Amino acid sequence: MNLRERFGTELFRKVAGPDGPRQRERVHGTPGPRWFAPDSPVARVHGDASMFVGGIRAVMLQSLHPAAMQGVADHSGYRGDMWGRLAQVSIYIAMTTFGAERDALQVIRAVQRAHESVTGTMPDGTPYAASDPHLLGWVHAAEIDSFLAAHDRYGHRPLVGAERDEYVAQAGVPARHLGVIDPPTSVDELRAVLAAYGPELRGTPAAVDAIRFLVLHPDLPLAARPGYLSLVTAAIGLLPPEARRELRLPPAPPVTNRLLGAAATRTIRWAMAPAHAHARALQDRAGT
């Protein structure tokens, strides 16, 4: 393999896990009806290198809900297997965006079963459950807001006009199956949902600790850490100022974070080009 292929293969293995190649064949090569066309807004956003920035921002923003963060602290193995957790999320997003409908529904059911055991009690005695539609609504809104913000700034073909509302509506399809009640269907609705959660959000000690771990302990070779920190810096630069303050994150100089984010996403896009070509070939054979 040449340098691009080696880099792309290692990058894909890191974010998709050791089972990534088989899952890619299943996602893109399984015949059958799908929820979205290959060039739909949701496919463009979720298939772009900007997702690396958007995913980090999403984790940071989601951690501001105390119940969501408590569930992660009590039940997630992120400290011992940060990349394994990422692979699970990556496969979920890929399957529900690009996969056959029956496979998308199957992975959603698997997540629902996993959520059944994620229950507990907040420090003040308030119970929480990962399957709570209100909590799912926050996770979904923070996620798609982050993906859209990252794509607006670093995407190869940013969405314009009605495409932005279409993206929000399309992202709501798997969310509704997962258990989100009335997910937003436009950018304006998304903004309203985020604002409505505002009074519930704060940077708990667990959130600050988790994000510090995410930033400082990525379990990567030293040679890969500058690239990772470029993505982190870009994600911090996209956070609302109040979110940065709550998480005790330093402000990222606008020019610096934009340059780092642009360089990192361009490099990822270059490295992943052969993998995307392979995925398109699988889609063509599957008739999608």
- pLDDT of amino acid 80: 59
Look at residue 28 and tell me if it is in a domain.
yes
Look at residue 68 and tell me if it is in a domain.
yes
Q: Which residues of 138-162 are buried (b: 16+ CB within 10 A; e: fewer)?
A: bbbbbbbbbbbbbbbbbbeebbeee
- pLDDT of amino acid 65: 98
- pLDDT of amino acid 13: 85
- pLDDT of amino acid 1: 66
Confidence of residue 14 (pLDDT cuts 50, 70, 90): confident
- pLDDT of amino acid 257: 86
Average pLDDT over residues 252-280: 90
- pLDDT of amino acid 285: 86
- pLDDT of amino acid 219: 81
- Number of domains composing the chain: 1
pLDDT in tens, 196-226: 999 999 999 999 999 999 999 888 888 888 9
Question: How far is residue 69's CA from residue 186's CA, in Å, rounded to a whole number?
Answer: 27
Confidence of residue 85 (pLDDT cuts 50, 70, 90): confident
- pLDDT of amino acid 222: 86
Average pLDDT, the chain: 93
Look at residue 59 and tell me if it is in a domain.
yes
pLDDT in tens, 238-260: 999 999 999 999 887 888 889 99
Look at residue 34 and tell me if it is in a domain.
yes
Q: Which domain holds residue 196?
A: 3-282
In the three-class reduction of DSSP (H, G, I as helix; E, B as strand; rest coil), residue 234 is classed as: helix
Look at residue 288 and tell me if it is in a domain.
no
pTM of the predicted model, to two decimals?
A: 0.94
pLDDT in tens, 33-82: 999 999 999 999 999 999 999 999 999 999 999 999 999 988 876 675 67
Task: Answer yes or no: are the C-beta atoms of 208 and 247 closer than 8 Å.
Answer: yes
Q: Residue 178 has which token pair?
A: 């997962």
Look at residue 287 and tell me if it is in a domain.
no
Whether the per-residue pLDDT at 192 is higher than 70: the answer is yes
The residue that leads in pLDDT, 19 or 264, is 264
- pLDDT of amino acid 87: 86
Percent of the chain with pLDDT over 70: 98
In angstroms, the Cα distances linking 119 to 115, 130, 170, 210 are 8, 6, 29, 19
- pLDDT of amino acid 78: 67
Average pLDDT over residues 84-112: 94
Look at residue 19 and tell me if it is in a domain.
yes
Percent of the chain with pLDDT over 90: 75
Whether the per-residue pLDDT at 175 is higher than 90: the answer is yes
Kindly report the backbone phi and psi dihedral angles of residue 34, in degrees, each rounded to the nearest multiple of 5, phi listed first: -125, 160
Question: How far is residue 185's CA from residue 165's CA, in Å, rounded to a whole number?
Answer: 6
